[in-house]
């Protein structure tokens, strides 16, 4: 449905929704492309065939800019802006791949991996794992520290489950509940290391205001929220 509404291709996630506006010429990794005014650099990169690694961004939701994986270089600008929240400008020249960008992205992903179950890294098929593969990372340099591995799995809902140990707190589920479904059943509770996805007043999904629409499951990039039907023998964290 969403690809039909937004005029997107089924096999490409452009990272941010398309816009209607005057055409803007942009060069991404040497490839010239024209996108509507108001489009993100991330969308332009995808249109040019140079997709930028991402976690918190998806083309069914407005940009959020929290994961810091989608950093790029823009000619004439200092720093490394997030491509999902940076809008195109006429004749902008963008670089999506460089040694510096790879180093920055690996550093960010290592932090995520330091609080992600090591046993769940090999063989994973989520967007999180695809991003790891795109960046060329399968582990991290940090020792064992504080983590969320002892948090219980919420399997109260008959259709899906929530494993907080695999949650990267990207807010995609919260935003999907708000922007797509309009239920506002999910929030990010607390701050810093204590941040977590909470249903209603920190209840189980079944006890909360969740209407089981599945928008949060579809949006989750790490399979922290995942359909139960994928585990006919029952879910167990590897």
Hey, what are 221's tokens? 């990039």
Give the span between the Cα atoms of 28 and 32, in whole angstroms: 6
Low-confidence ranges of the chain (pLDDT < 70): 1-10, 238
pLDDT reported for residue 3? 40
Nearest Cα residue to 8 out of 46, 41, 38: 46
Report CA-CA distances (Å) from 219 to 58, 108, 146, 171.
Answer: 8, 21, 26, 9
In the numeric block, the tokens 């479904």 are attached to 181
Hey, what are 82's tokens? 């997030």
Residue 48: count other Cβ atoms within 10 Å of its Cβ.
20
Domains of the chain: 1-97 (3.10.20.740), 160-230 (3.30.70.20)
Give the span between the Cα atoms of 187 and 207, in whole angstroms: 15
Q: pLDDT tens, 17-40? A: 999 999 999 999 999 999 999 999
pLDDT reported for residue 1? 31
pLDDT reported for residue 157? 97
Q: pLDDT tens, 157-178? A: 999 999 999 999 999 999 999 9
Write down the pTM of the prediction: 0.90
pLDDT reported for residue 7? 52
């Amino acid at each position: 449905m969403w690809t039909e509404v937004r005029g997107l291709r089924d096999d490409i996630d452009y990272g941010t929704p398309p816009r209607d506006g005057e055409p803007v010429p942009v060069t991404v990794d040497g490839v010239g492309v024209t996108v509507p005014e108001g489009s993100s650099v991330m969308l332009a990169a995808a249109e040019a065939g140079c997709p930028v690694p991402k976690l918190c961004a998806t083309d069914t939701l407005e940009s959020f800019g929290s994961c810091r994986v989608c950093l790029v270089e823009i000619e004439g600008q200092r720093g490394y802006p997030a491509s999902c929240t940076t809008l195109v400008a006429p004749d902008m020249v963008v670089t999506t791949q460089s040694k510096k960008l790879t180093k920055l992205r690996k550093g960010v992903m290592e932090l995520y991996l330091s609080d992600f179950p090591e046993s769940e890294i090999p063989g994973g098929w989520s967007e999180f794992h695809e991003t790891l593969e795109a960046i060329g990372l399968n582990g991290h340099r940090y020792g064992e520290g504080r983590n969320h591995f002892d948090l219980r799995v919420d399997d109260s809902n008959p259709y899906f489950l929530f494993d907080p140990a695999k949650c990267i707190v990207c807010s995609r589920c919260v935003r999907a509940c708000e922007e797509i479904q309009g239920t506002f059943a999910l929030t990010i509770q607390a701050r810093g290391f204590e941040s977590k996805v909470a249903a209603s007043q920190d209840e189980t999904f079944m006890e909360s205001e969740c209407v089981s629409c599945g928008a949060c499951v579809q949006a989750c990039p790490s399979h922290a929220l995942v359909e139960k039907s994928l585990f006919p023998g029952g879910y167990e964290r590897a």
